[in-house]
Structure 1
Amino acid sequence: MSGALSALSGLGAGSLGSATGLLGGIAGGLLGSAMSVASWRGVTFWMPNASEESGRRVLQVWFPGRDDYRALDFGAQDGAIRVSGLIIGDDYVIRGKRMRAALQKAGPATLVHPWLGAIKCRLVQSGTLSFSDGEIRMARFQATFVRVPPDPAGTGLFSRIVDTLTSVLETADALVDQGLLAIRSVLSVITLPLALVSSVTNVVSMTMGVWDAVTGSTAALPIRTAAAAPLEALKNGVVVPVANTDTVFADTVSTVLSGVPAAVAQAVSPTATAAIASADAVSGVQSDSIDPVAATTVLLTAVETLRTDGATLAAQSTDPASVRGLVLGAVAMTAAQAVAAASSLTYASQDDALVWRDRLLAMLDTLVDDIETLAATTGASVPVSGMLGALRDSKAAITADISERLGRLPAVVSVAVPRAMSGWLVAYAVAGDAPETVEKIWTDMVARNGLRQPAVTGPGVVKMLKLSDAS
């Protein structure tokens, strides 16, 4: 997984193929209301039911002359996930062929499960795809998957530290998947109505305005330089196809909407440049990395601006449900990149880590509010259960990662300065028998308290790193 969490990494969910209004009587009846949207390798289907085996790997051992047995427990067992799905819509034959191709691909992939969320799985048995002349515009689909086991490498302290960071990135990637699914769901109709085309154009234009504003300051110039290409793509917009028979148009819209945040997150920790390379590969902006604090701050600002401007645009649109769905997808993918960029942050103290944790969690909570608003919108075609699960997992991963780091970070203490005195004297007094820490304590004290004149500090309370953890 790249640092940018590429918006088209292959883990995204697929197109619905047809709007709810085109699904016929089955979508409007009791059966339709009970079905939920799932996805395998970018091909979506309705999942009315699914089952999963789970338990322990127990071996029974019998001995001669005894009626009882001994049980050898070899650990937990993730059994098979058996899925029964329906591919419904005018394009059911096309999507059935896509599902057939997806079943033949090698390696693990993400199964977007409407109840269990995004699960990394492998197909262990041949899937079944069936058509019937008594079920026009519908194909039945069955497959059996098994979960991909977690990486067993290392079980010590440092493996847990790495695992929490990996979990943050994986949950962020799952959130990208859900953003893709939201956009593909909105743009799933074969014939794009004029109102929907207008919604796409307006959302792309609004997104361009947001990024133009948040990267327009002098401080954000390196970010704007790194995102020059996707900014240009946003400016050019998208070309609407005559017939929307696949997910190419939806993927193009997703790429345009997610290009800038992906570029910003990638620029935080760019790929290392080879020692021997062409001149243009080792000079210029390609080798310039962006401060993680600046990148994360810009991404968080963009998330909030996209939300507010998107709500205004939806209120003025003739197709508010589609606008909300497209904006939700764009916001989810931007939020995922903010989480990815924040994973590169270094914290000076426990308080700093907790502040960033609370900012990230508050951002994800706003997405939950947007989902609830979208779910209550008449005509909204975006499946929200998967996104809610991705948000929940991402919040849990962020909390676990910050908690893992807290024990290795110094605390911030408040020191009462009774009268005006030099900041160096305060730092020396706090350092005590560890004079080698004076410079670090003084630097942190100046930055943390915003001291204009460090030569004259106080009277008052000054915050600084705790002595025992400052070195």
Structure 2
Amino acid sequence: MSIGTGILGSQLGLTGGLAASPLSSILSVASWRGVNFYMPNSREAAGRRVLQLYFPGRDDFRMQDFGQFDGPIQVRGILVGDDYVLRADRMRKALLAKGPATLIHPWWGALRCYLLQAGQIEFSEYEVRLARFEATFVRKPPASVSTGLFSGITDTLTNVLEQADALMDQCVLTMRGLLSPAVVPLALASAVNSTINVATGVWNAVTTSAPEPVQSATQTPLAALSAGIVAPADNADTTYADGVTDLLVNVPAAVAATVSTGTTAAIAPATQVADGSQTSVDPAQATALLLDGATQIGTQAQALSVKSLAPADVLVIALVARVGTVAQALATQSAVTYVSQSDAIAGRNAVTGALDDLADDLTNVIAAGADVALGDLSGAIRDARTAVVADISSRLGRLPKVIAVPVPRQISAWLIAYAVAGDTPSDVASVWDDLVSRNNLTHPALAGPGSVDVLETTT
């Protein structure tokens, strides 16, 4: 949607919409978690955390300075248009979301913030097609540089998810930077449509052989991706850019949403319904699917850029699509339960390899002369890689190793399992299951000769 047909356009039922009225020039566009709104005013507290100390028998006092007070940011926003209820519902969901996110402030710019207090959303019968809300944010504090005893104790999993969220924020900001002209050039609009067609072909191919839950979940976003998007005649706000970003990331987001968390219901497995059909997929399977899609988008977009009239723009749009896809892969990978150290290392290498590919793509975009700021995106990719390595490293010490057992002749896998876990009979079945799947044995009675990988038991 654009001004004239979007959040502040013809929704008011006025000729020409608000874009043609004096009001549009005094409203400042802001955003929280990708939901645009207008911020007529904002208030922030800043200063020092000072304690005034008095002592008996003395008329003077002493001051104890406890450091900076980077106070809360109190925001008042308005949502205008025929779809104001829908937009208010989106804002409500954005306010309910966990963790930090980027607040696009019309005066301070992009701020990494937490929602400090519950937001207040207000409707009134005296204000048609308009909703108001108030929210209080606080800036995310900078990373601690403490070297004390507790400086290394961090929630590595939460850090991975926060970095994935930061990557999604950078997707939005990068696309807004690219699609910022008031009138979108024909070559740029063509680059958008061509890259969307590439993404459509990739996801159609990738999801064809995917489990049924993935096919069902991606049906609607795939249809929207196939339909594409039309560049507006008047690109006066970020609606067009956000629409393109949504199209490119909604399919991988739908794939990530199908992931099973391993929760089991009291009556039946949580991943099944009454007729026994599967409703979710294994997180490792979803991660592999997402990384495969990201790789294919990068390969095909590189080939497309050679033939395009706007090669740098194609590379930027494809980079946003890949970053959004890898961000979803970070979320699904964080839900994987690894069996062994080698499995965890393989998972780490797959995700860090994808992040390294993003860094290479970003270098290619810069070399192509893209006219968009990419410094923050580069930093987000680097931070995400560091977070993944830290998270997997924290898990490795709690996982068993995979050992290579020499098998001089072809024997039954049961004999190998008993040899490895015979002192603990309860472990034999699990060792046998892992042995068969890990070595891709076509027949459990025919293992070897050669070296067979077996999961080490605790005993």
Query: Normalised by the size of structure 1, how large is the TM-score?
Result: 0.67
**Superposition deviation, residue 167 in structure 1:** 1.3
Match of 1:49 in 2: none
Measured after TM superposition, the shift of residue 119 of structure 1 is 2.6
Task: Mark the CA change 1:358 to 1:241 in structure 2 (over 3 Å): closer, same or farther.
Answer: same
* CA drift at 1:210: 0.7
Report the aligned-residue RMSD. Answer: 4.1
Matches within 5 A, 1:417-456: 417-456=407-446
* Contact 2:178–2:313 (CA under 8 A) maintained in structure 1: yes
The whole-number CA distance in structure 1 between the counterparts of 2:56 and 2:453 is 74
Helix, strand or coil for the counterpart of 2:113?
strand
Superposed CA offset, 1:118-167 (max 9, x none): 632579xxxxxxxxxxxxxxxxxxxxx953469xxxxxx9x968x22111
Q: Report the Cα offset of residue 235 of structure 1.
A: 1.3
Question: What corresponds to 2:312 in structure 1?
Answer: 321
Q: How many residues align?
A: 364
- Residue identity (%): 46
Q: Equivalent residue for 2:195?
A: 203
Give CA-to-partner distance per residue, 1:190-212, whole Å, 9 cap, x none. Answer: 11111111111111111101111
Structure-1 separation of matches of 2:65 and 2:426: 54
Alignment of 1:62-211 (within 5 A): 79=70, 110=102, 119-120=112-113, 147-148=139-140, 163-211=155-203
**Which residue, out of 325, 337, 354, partners 1:346?**
337
1:251-330 equivalent positions in 2, closer than 5 A = 251-269=242-260, 288-330=279-321
Shift of the alpha carbon at 1:269?
3.8
Instruction: Tell me, in whole angstroms, the C-alpha distance in 1 between the residues paired with 2:458 and 2:261.
Output: 35
Taking structure 2 as the reference length, the TM-score comes to 0.68
- Which residue in 2 is equivalent to 1:369? 360
1:278-307 Cα offsets, whole Å, 9 max, x none, are xxx977899711221221111000110010
Structure-2 residue corresponding to 1:99: none
Please report how far the alpha carbon of residue 325 of structure 1 lies from its aligned counterpart in structure 2 after TM superposition. 1.3
Q: Decide whether the 8 Å contact of 2:199 with 2:248 is kept in 1.
A: yes
**1:214 aligned to 206, 210, 222, which one?**
206
Partner of 1:382: 372
1:284 to 1:172, Cα distance in 2 relative to 1, 3 A:
farther
CA gap 1:286/1:322 in 2 versus in 1, 3 angstroms: farther
Cα distance change of structure 1 residues 369 and 447 upon mapping to structure 2, 3 Å threshold? same
Q: Structure 1's 286 and 165: CA in aligned 2 closer, same or farther, altered over 3 A?
A: farther
Tell me if structure 2 keeps the 8 A contact 1:273–1:282: no
Shift of 1:454: 2.0
Q: Which runs of 5+ in 2 are unaligned?
A: 1-29, 37-45, 74-90, 117-136, 143-149, 267-271
Structure 1 consecutive aligned stretches of length 4 or more whose deviation exceeds 6 Å: 57-65, 70-74, 105-108, 270-275, 281-287
In structure 2, how many angstroms separate the alpha carbons of the residues matched to 1:361 and 1:424? 37
1:38-79: CA deviations, max 9, x gaps?
x97468xxxxxxxxx999x797989999xxxx99897x8675
CA contact (8 A) 1:174 1:390 kept: yes
Q: Which has the higher contact order (CA 8 A, sep 6+)?
A: 1
Instruction: For residue 468 of structure 1, give the secondary structure of its aligned residue in structure 2.
Output: coil
Specify the code of the residue in structure 1 equivalent to 2:309. Answer: T
1:248 equivalent in alignment to 2:239? yes
State which of 370, 374, 386 in structure 2 corresponds to 1:396.
Answer: 386
1-structure distance, mates of 2:407, 2:47: 61
Gaps of 5+ in 1: 1-38, 44-52, 83-101, 124-144, 151-156, 276-280
